[in-house]
Amino acid sequence: MTRWIWISLAALAIAASVALGWQQIALSPRGKWIETNDAAVLGQGRTLYDRYCASCHGANLEGQPDWMKRLPSGRMPAPPHDATGHTWHHPSDVLFGIVKDGVEKYAPAGYESDMPAFGGTLSDPEIRAVLAYIRSTWPADVQRRHEERERAARGR
Ligand code: HEC
């Protein structure tokens, strides 16, 4: 009788750890994944974009004129966030890091940029909402290519 109790307890423990393990696998790589269909989040992202990003990146995500040419200051202009730019080339955690901590985080030491770090202004969910809004404006094939890069960055 006691033997059966021990066997069921062991089975339960195994089931629980498998379930927890799966949950971690399901959660961790998607932690900063910016995709959502949630209209409320996308609406919030749009409002935040208009308020904090549009002045440089353009009301229609078109970026600054001649965005590939250095400014007289030696710094780069703000690139577009639409399909013509390279925002979609970066996986979510890199985009998240750029907005939160600034471009310098990913650039060689001493790199100077006009892109502000928003870590002191926007919360993590707000940063994800802005990026989700930007992503939601991309055509389906660009979203698909972004997802491929996302998977490659996640290692699967
Ligand atoms: C004061 C102007 C300014 C504002 C405001 C601004 N940016 Fe930028 N952003 C830039 C510039 C300039 C760059 C290019 C940086 C570089 O290469 O040095 C950039 C680059 C970026 C990049 C990298 C794009 C790429 O293709 O590599 C992302 C992502 C980005 N900005 C997101 C945002 C978001 C989201 C907001 C609003 C929350 C925002 N930016 C607000 C100026 C700005």
Tell me: pLDDT of 94 over 90: yes
CB 130 within 8 A of CB 52: yes
Nearest CA to ligand 1 atom 37: 53
- Give pLDDT tens digits for 99-152: 999 999 899 999 999 999 999 999 999 999 999 999 999 999 999 999 999 888
Rounded average pLDDT over 43-62: 98
Q: Which residues line ligand 1 (CB under 6 A)?
A: 52-53, 55-57, 75-79, 85-87, 95, 98-99, 103, 113-116, 118, 130
Residue 3 confidence (pLDDT): 78
- Give pLDDT tens digits for 17-29: 555 444 333 333 4
Contacts of 111 (CB under 8 A, 6+ apart): 103, 104
Between CA 131 and CA 81 the distance in angstroms is 10
CB 29 within 8 A of CB 154: yes
Ligand 1 atom index nearest CA of 130: 35
**Pocket probe mutation, ligand 1, options 82, 94, 115, max atoms within 8 Å of Cβ:** 115
Tell me: pLDDT of 6 over 60: yes
For residue 77, how far is its CA from the centre of ligand 1 (angstroms)?
9
- Give pLDDT tens digits for 58-93: 999 999 999 999 999 999 999 999 999 999 999 999
17-32 burial string, b = 16+ CB within 10 Å, else e?
eeeeeeeeeeeebeeb
